[in-house]
Amino acid sequence: MIDSMFDEALRILTFRSGFNSAVVVAGTAALGLAGGTVGTFLLLRRRALVSDALSHATLPGIAVAFLVGAALGLPERSLPLLLAGAVASGVVGLLTVQALTRFTRLTEDSAIGAVLSVFFGLGVVLLSVIQNLELGGQAGLKTFILGQTAAMAQGEAIAIGLLAAGAALAVALLFKELRVLAFDPGFAAVQGWPVGALDLVLMGLATLVTVIGLQTVGLILVVALLIIPPAAARFWTDRLPALTVAAAVIGALSGWLGATLSALLPKLPAGAVIVLVAGGFFLLSFLFAPARGLVAAALRQGRLRLTFAERRALTDLLDGRPVEGSVALWLRLRGYIRDGALTPAGQTAAQAAARDRRLWERFLADYPALLPAHANWGVDPIDSVLPGDMVRLLEERSAPS
């Protein structure tokens, strides 16, 4: 049983499990790539919640577009018309958030909450009205709320692929401008950069990702593909190019693996599975990323405490004060003490620790405002933190007269 599921999963992952499965897996992977790429700058620009309002604001546009299509006599659901309605409604919701923030005393989060709830409520009411009309095709409109990944057609997969390529190209062409916008919009405005236009470009890309993802993961969950991949990637790096690439890779893997798991477990909704896979990547990053992960941070803190205790115990022994307990055991394991006395190696380490402590105290007394942010004084050897001429000056000042 397990072997057969593994074989089937391998066939789906390598696009050998039929045309429909290959289309779905490729389309969701491309959507995740686009979401991660664009979402990086939304996250850094602090526009993540705006994308949530944008996704919920598309629902009334979908309903109105369906009614317009029915009035024009279009057969059942016209997907281009529905997506056009979603774009229009989403843009109106986005402009409403900006207007409320600019022309009223509401904060941005309050404006987002108001627009999100009102537009989504209006969409639900319109869908209820449509369900009571004698029209064809209205039953499938609710799939836009939670998505219907398995029903992805070849044309939709191609459109998502083109979107992913377009989003990556747009980010590559505007990378310098988006970087300045994300980190220092005030500086960009002073330098004459069109901050408002760049914001509109960024939100336009977010709108495209949101709309094209409606069929895949639905308007409730599509925002997760814009937020979770860059949030997970942020734990791994502080460099923007690496962050953008990592977010795109995590987003693509989330769609790729999520669609595969959904195909293996057909009773589970694909959109929710994709988001759960993205959440799994976030959890792994949160725990195990070497740059900012919880486990790595705990290990660094433990190592700092141990090093501080070791250096303090060595200086105590050098001054003739006894050391007992777990610290003494650690020093014996390190070969620094034997029978309660310092070994030659321990003597050397103790003298280095005493020197570092004396120079750090002099530095903090003379230059308290110049302490490097990355330095752990009392733990880090001073020669590895400060320049050599500064260390020599401190040695001269701390030398006994």
- Give CA–CA dist 46/220, Å, rounded: 19
pLDDT along the chain (401 residues), means of 10: 59 62 77 88 82 80 82 68 83 85 82 84 84 64 65 69 79 85 80 79 82 74 86 90 92 87 75 87 92 87 88 86 85 85 88 88 84 75 86 83 58
> Which residues on neighbouring strands pair with residue 338, listed in sequence order?
341
Residue found by looking up tokens 């050098």 in the block: 318
- The phi and psi torsions of 390 (rounded to 5 degrees) equal -65, -40
Residue 375 structure tokens: 């330095």
Nearby residues of 337 by Cβ (< 8 Å), 6 or more positions away: 317, 323, 328, 331, 343, 346
298 vs 231, 235, 285, 295, 303, CA distance in Å? 20, 14, 14, 5, 9
CB contact at 8 A, 248 and 230: no
DSSP one-letter code for 135:
-
- Residue 173 has a CB neighbour count (10 Å cut-off) of 10
Nearby residues of 284 by Cβ (< 8 Å), 6 or more positions away: 232
Q: Where are the beta strands (DSSP E) in 210-300?
A: none
Report helix, strand or coil for 130.
helix
pLDDT at residue 401, rounded to an integer:
58
CA angle 316, 320, 326 (to 5 degrees): 45
- Give CA–CA dist 178/172, Å, rounded: 10
CB contact at 8 A, 42 and 206: yes
- Give CA–CA dist 223/55, Å, rounded: 7
Residue 157 structure tokens: 């997969």
148 closest CA partner among 323, 272, 14: 272
CA dihedral sign, ordered 50, 56, 59, 60: negative
CA angle 381, 386, 392 (to 5 degrees): 95
* Helix, strand, coil abundance in the chain, percent, nearest 5: 80, 0, 20
44 vs 109, 231, 283, CA distance in Å? 16, 10, 20
Residues in the chain: 401
Residue 194 structure tokens: 């069109």
97 vs 44, 106, 145, CA distance in Å? 19, 10, 21
Instruction: List domains and CATH numbers for the chain.
Output: 2-288 (1.10.3470.10), 295-398 (no CATH)
- Give CA–CA dist 207/229, Å, rounded: 17
Residue found by looking up tokens 């029903």 in the block: 151
